[in-house]
């Protein structure tokens, strides 16, 4: 697939995010530079490190949304983490290396999906063969092996990860003819609702101890992979059973050593880590000496961004060429409150602008799945056509802007609060209304919201 140019990346971001053109441009350039670097000689590639980005701006202006949409746009391992989840080494909480392990997991998931797509046809054929055998079982034969041989065969099968050995069966001419008939019906999709009993691997139960160990930086998932998988019987329609059998066959057909090697390579060369809320780990305003040191968290993050090698269950993952994008509101602090070494690792700075009334109007109408389009679709499910007049949209945007100025400025998130209050009655009555059209006018908006906007105490609690 052809690599997207910076202009194409910005165009895709424009579908979901209003304004913030400078931030979109810088992110698009940083992403495309990964492709440029991959075209260079290998000895030069080593010296070209990514130019990490620090985005600063008020809450609700699109910093996190850029990260969310990037994950859909880039065909590279991408993880978003909250800086506030991490704690200094020696305290209970997620250690900073877990972000790199998360990136490795995401890379494996992407490569695994690609490899599964290559063997899907073969897996489907094998799954259909298994379904035919289950729908028309053969005649069970008495196995005359002695008990010792049976036990040995069982142990060999379990150790090789194949589960319990299958019982021996005899395929008579009658069974063979029935299977041919069933195979033909399966091919034509006539048995999709027939029920069949299959054996599937039991889902891993959540282990609180494993989560606690993970917080202390110990990856316990590798231990669970060594344990033999327990199989359970489930009765399902053929259509659902086929999906599970295809997954099982795909796991058998792919080479996991090659997948892990490819995933580590991809994560290290084109991985992206988005660190949100980075302003919350600045030392500004930290008074209580008993708190976990925020500066300590920064010092723990520093070597990962500078370039180090992190051990994952798939192998060592160097972080030298991972792109880091950090974002924060910096309402009670400023980027210069970060430790100097960390500031130096984010050479590209971009400030996102606070939203104006015109931006709110665009946010309500323009994005691909804008808020207004979402509410129109929700009420369409009740057979109600919801229509907003241009004046009503203008008034909603004006109220959102005024409330943000008069109370805490929470950016575009204010629109969701206002629309919920405005449409409360319509959403409640919607299922009981007859098919018809509801038009939201400027007068309706004023009637529903003006009193609340005028009363500052009500505004604080309701909007």
357-448 belongs to CATH 3.30.300.30: no
What residue segments make up the domains of the chain, in order of their start?
6-109+262-351, 357-448
Binding residues: 18, 60-65, 276, 341, 413
Confidence at 394, pLDDT banded by 50, 70, 90: very high
Residues in the chain: 463
Dihedral angle sign, alpha carbons of residues 407, 409, 413, 414: positive
Mean pLDDT, the chain, integer: 82
Residues 57 and 329: beta-carbon distance below 8 Å: yes
| pLDDT tens digit sequence for 141-191 | 655 555 666 667 666 665 655 555 555 666 677 777 888 888 888 888 888
How many angstroms separate the CA atoms of 24 and 57, rounded?
14
Query: Out of 21-25, 403-407, 419-423, which region has the weakest mean confidence (pLDDT)?
Result: 403-407
For the packed helices 256-270 and 98-118, what is the interaxial angle rounded to 10 degrees? 130
Radius of gyration of the chain (CA): 29
Residue 229 — very low, low, confident or very high, per pLDDT cuts 50/70/90? low
Taking residues 320-340, what's their average pLDDT? 89
Work out the angle at residue 304's Cα, subtended by the Cα atoms of residues 303 and 306, and round it to the nearest 5 degrees: 60
CATH of 6-109+262-351, one of 2.40.50.100, 3.30.565.10, 2.60.120.580, 3.40.50.300: 3.40.50.300
Instruction: List C-alpha distances in Å: 408 to 10, 86, 194, 350, 443.
Output: 30, 27, 58, 23, 26
How far is CA 162 from each of CA 130, 149, 155, 190, 235, rounded to the nearest angstrom? Answer: 15, 17, 10, 31, 21
Q: Which residues contact 260 (CB under 8 A, 6 or more apart)?
A: 108, 314, 315
Type and span of the H or E element at 67: helix 63-73
Higher pLDDT among residues 454 and 96, named by residue? 96
User: Taking the CA of residue 115 as centre, how many other CA atoms within 13 Å lie in the half-sphere pointing to its CB?
Assistant: 22
* φ, ψ for residue 57, nearest 5 deg: 170, 160
Helix (H, G, I), strand (E, B) or coil at 369: coil
- Which residue, among 183, 199, 193, has the nearest Cα to 136 in the 3D structure? 183
Taking only the tens place, the pLDDT of each residue in 341-385 is 999 999 999 888 888 889 999 999 888 889 999 999 999 888 889
- Which residues are paired to 384 by β-bridges? 436
Nearest partner of 298 among 345, 238, 263, 249, judged by Cα = 345
Tokens matching residue 186: 């399966």
Closest to 387 measured CA to CA, from 379, 395, 398, 396? 379
Binding residue positions for ATP: 18, 60-65, 276, 341, 413
**Residue-level pLDDT at 324:** 93
With 50 as the cut, is the pLDDT of residue 318 above it? yes
Distance of alpha carbon 14 from alpha carbon 263, whole angstroms: 30
Contact indicator for 51, 348 with CB cutoff of 8 Å:
yes
pLDDT at 191: 81
Q: CA 124 to CA 103: how far, in whole Å?
A: 30
Give 233's strand partners.
Answer: 199
């Amino acid at each position: 697939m052809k690599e997207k140019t910076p202009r194409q990346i910005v165009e895709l971001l424009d579908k979901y995010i209003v304004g913030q053109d400078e931030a979109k441009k810088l992110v698009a350039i940083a992403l495309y530079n990964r492709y440029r670097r991959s075209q260079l000689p290998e000895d030069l590639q080593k010296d070209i490190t990514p130019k990490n980005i620090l985005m600063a701006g008020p809450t609700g202006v699109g910093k996190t949304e850029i990260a969310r949409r990037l994950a859909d746009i880039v065909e590279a391992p991408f993880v978003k983490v909250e800086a506030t989840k991490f704690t200094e080494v020696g305290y209970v909480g997620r250690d900073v290396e877990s972000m790199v392990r998360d990136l490795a997991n995401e890379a494996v998931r992407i490569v695994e999906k690609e490899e599964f797509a290559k063997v899907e046809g073969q897996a489907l054929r094998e799954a259909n063969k298994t379904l035919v055998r289950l729908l028309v079982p053969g005649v069970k034969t008495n196995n005359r092996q002695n008990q010792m041989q049976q036990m040995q065969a069982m142990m060999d099968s379990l150790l090789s990860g194949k589960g319990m050995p299958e019982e021996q069966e005899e395929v008579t001419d009658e069974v063979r003819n029935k299977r041919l008939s069933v195979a033909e019906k399966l091919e034509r999709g006539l048995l999709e609702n027939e029920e069949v009993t299959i054996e599937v691997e039991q889902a891993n139960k959540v282990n609180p101890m494993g989560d606690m160990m993970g917080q202390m930086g110990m990856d316990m998932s590798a231990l669970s992979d060594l344990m033999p998988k327990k199989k359970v019987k489930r009765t399902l329609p053929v259509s659902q059973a086929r999906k599970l059998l295809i997954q099982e066959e795909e796991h058998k057909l792919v080479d996991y050593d090659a997948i892990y090697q490819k995933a580590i390579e991809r994560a290290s060369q084109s991985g992206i880590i988005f660190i949100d809320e980075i302003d919350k780990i600045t030392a500004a305003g930290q008074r209580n000496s008993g708190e976990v040191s925020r500066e300590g968290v920064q010092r723990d993050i520093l070597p990962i961004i500078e370039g180090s090698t992190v051990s994952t269950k798939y192998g060592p993952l160097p972080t030298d060429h991972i792109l880091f994008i950090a974002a924060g509101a910096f309402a009670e602090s400023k980027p210069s409150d970060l430790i100097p070494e960390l500031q130096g690792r984010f050479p590209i700075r971009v400030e996102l602008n606070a939203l104006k009334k015109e931006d709110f109007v665009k946010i309500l109408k323009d994005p691909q799945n804008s808020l207004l389009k979402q509410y129109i679709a929700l009420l369409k499910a009740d057979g109600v056509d919801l229509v907003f007049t241009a004046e009503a949209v203008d008034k909603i945007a004006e109220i959102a802007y005024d409330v943000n100025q008069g109370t805490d400025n929470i950016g575009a998130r204010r629109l969701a609060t206002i629309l919920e209050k405005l449409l409360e009655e319509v959403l409640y009555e919607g299922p009981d209304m007859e098919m018809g059209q509801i038009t939201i006018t400027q007068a309706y908006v004023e009637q529903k919201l003006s009193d609340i906007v005028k009363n500052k105490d009500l505004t604080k609690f309701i909007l």
